Chain A
Amino acid sequence: MAFYDGIFNTLGLRNWCGEGASEAPMSMADLLAKSSGEATKEEFFPFPSLDNLSESCAGIIQSRDVTKGIENGFLAAKPGLKTVLDPITQPLSWLLDGALWVFATTPWFIMVPILVAISWWASRSKPVTIFVFAAIMLMGLVDHYDVAMQTLSIIFVCTGISILLGVPIGIAMSKSDRLQRSVVPILDLLQTLPTFVYLIPLIFLFSVTESKLYGIAIILYAIVPVVRLTDLGIRLVDQDVIEAANAFGMNSRQKLIGVELPLALPNIMAGINQTIMMSLAMVVIASLVSAPGLGVNVLRGIRNLELGVGIVAGIGIVLLAVILDRVSKAALTRVDMTRVKH
């Protein structure tokens, strides 16, 4: 005799419910109770949850039907989604695999100078460049060079794609209030969604052996700041300068390339800096879904309680983070300098 029987009887729904709940599969709670060998305790006033209601009325679904339904829905939509998404996202897999291959096969005595040269070119700062060199050598010293390069190659690819997609989206948003109003909630969602939750629909859609699975997760997470700050940067461009551009008869392309983007550049660079940092954060989490790199070692540290492995990998991540942050920040201040050079 379940608690809610009386209610269904008085509402006259007994017929609709069908006789007794006995034929219905056991609810999750019952199952648990049974397996642990305890007798089901009647609560005084159980929460009117689906499971409790269905005990009184077989016509009402159980909670596990809901999860089942969602799963079935996903599975049903999967072939359709896959035929659309697979070809679009396939290049991402190639890019990621290619970058991983390049970083892995280039000998360290070539790779390290290249990375140092890139940091010098971007930052034009001696301390930053020296730090980059020292940090990479240190990681190599404890045999973490390979994993660090894997992480770095994934970040390069994902940040590159985020910029390639994010900047145009940001530009379009800055030109259209309507677009901005519809994109901002999506960005908010992407930013507030816990990182693990991203992975769930992606695991359904793509197989864990495909690199694009983690690639998409990283890009979705990391693209947000560059989009936001491109939009903001262009909207914040000095209206007097825009007016001058109009008064001298610039067309919208000349205005965008000659005025708006250069003046928005410091903001866009700040966005890129954040995008890089968020890629790094996500690439670690993405090791749950087979992303290679330092994250794998962290995961090993957690899973096998190998404290040392986890901590060394963690320090490697911190070093990478500092490198990426310093270099991109130095580049940012450099572009800012050309604006107000005293």
Chain B
Amino acid sequence: MTQEPKVRLRDLYKIFGAKDKEVLHHVKAGMSKEELLVDHRHVLGLQDINVDMQAGEITVVMGLSGSGKSTLIRHLNRLIEPTAGEILIDGVDVMGLSETGLRDIRQEKMSMVFQKFALLPHRTVLQNAGMALAVRGVDAATIDTEARKWLDRVGLQGFENHYPAQLSGGMQQRVGIARALTANTDIMLMDEAFSALDPLIRTDMQNLLLELQDELHKTIIFITHDLDEALKLADHLVILKDGAVVQQGEPQGILMNPSDPYIEDFVSDINRARVLRVKSVMEPLNGKKFAGDVAIGDNLESLIARSEGDTTLHYRVMDGDTPVGELHMKDLVKALVPRLSSTHTE
């Protein structure tokens, strides 16, 4: 990860209210969201955000309702103006752009998928999918082939001439994704894209996204309030609380070493066996007798099934064809118990 991050947020602050710049120094001096609201009638949206989003990765921003997730993602394409700070995309500060410059990067660099789909109700599925290209002024034939290609890819062949209202929620969101993919941008912004869908369809859509990402290697910024979803999708996980980042990093690392009681609470009731992967609990290769080989990306649940609960076993961990470490079932069992800070255990 030595390359320049694709998207970079530097010291970003957002305060909602008429005199946001004037109350900024209070926030910088450590005033809390409640105090700011009571004393100055301004809402603290984001404070001191520093996040690097790498090209080709899925960065998941997670937090409870009202933590500022939507506010954060809308800064990337400046649907919301920051109070202070820098937003760098490919090293260019979005804040320095003219109106046309901004429109250009919205058209060429970023596409967005919305929680409520936000499709054009009076246009067909095909026209909706081609919307971004139509905005750019691409010729109709190209729009048609591109839109059809991506609609096929998300499993909507045959629905091209339907209207959004004729589709189920899951299908509408597939159109939303096809629309973003047809735009053919490096960056995809997804604000709770799957939150309005029921659990089964949601899992489908997550798998679809991962499958597409394997192929396309886009820079995806994904917002969710669901930890399972976050852990499933994230290469880089950012946890927000009251507009501030409480912890960010590799998701397995956050799960194994939560830095804050807030996050411990968060991670305490998820199915760790399903989320944790071999990679997070393996040890360096030491050469014992192994019961078999496991892949580095397998989750612990599959291993438990395979060992039939025998905690005395050892497995060799393979990354493709090369052995990279070993895994003791005892460590695996230990990792299943969430580490709780002293406040919780005593």
Binding site for B on A (CB under 8 A): 238, 240-241, 243-244, 246-251, 254, 258-259, 262-263, 265, 338-342
Contacts and interface: CB of A to CB of B under 8 A. Distances in A.
Residue among A241, A244, A251, A265 with the highest chain B CB neighbour number at 10 A: A244
B58 interface: no
Contacts of A243: 79, 114, 118
A339 B110 contact: no
A251 B131 CA distance: 13
A240 B118 CA distance: 5
Contact of B79 (A246, A262, A341): A246
B135 A247 contact: no
A249 B103 contact: yes
Contact of B135 (A240, A249, A341): A249
B122 A246 contact: no
A269 to B, nearest CB: 13
Given A259-B120, A263-B122, A340-B121, A247 B112 contact: yes
B163 A248 contact: no
A250 B133 CA distance: 11
Interface string B96-124: 00000011111110111010111111100
19 contacts: A240-B114, A241-B118, A243-B79, A244-B112, A246-B106, A247-B110, A247-B112, A248-B107, A248-B112, A248-B131, A249-B102, A249-B103, A249-B105, A250-B103, A262-B122, A338-B122, A339-B122, A339-B163, A341-B163
B284 to A, nearest CB: 46
Contacts of A247: 77, 79, 106, 110-112, 189
B118 A341 contact: no
Residue among A248, A258, A338, A339 with the highest chain B CB neighbour number at 10 A: A248
Contacts, number: 69
Given A240-B116, A340-B165, A248 B79 contact: no
Contacts of B119: 241, 244
B106 A248 contact: yes
B183 interface: yes
Interface of B: 77, 79, 102-108, 110-112, 114, 116-122, 131-132, 135-136, 163, 165-166, 183, 189
Residue among B77, B106, B112, B122 with the highest chain A CB neighbour number at 10 A: B122
A342 B164 CA distance: 10
A309 to B, nearest CB: 48
B114 A249 contact: no
Given A249-B103, A263-B121, A339-B165, A244 B135 contact: no
Nearest to A261: B122
B286 to A, nearest CB: 52
A247 B110 CA distance: 8
A253 to B, nearest CB: 11
Contacts of B166: 341-342
Contact of A244 (B103, B107, B118, B163): B118
Given A249-B107, A262-B120, A341-B163, 8 more contacts: A240-B118, A248-B106, A248-B112, A249-B102, A251-B103, A258-B120, A263-B122, A265-B122
Contacts of B114: 240, 243-244
B104 A249 contact: yes
A342 B104 CA distance: 37
B71 to A, nearest CB: 13
A248 B111 contact: yes
Contacts of A250: 103, 135
Contacts of A339: 121-122, 163, 165
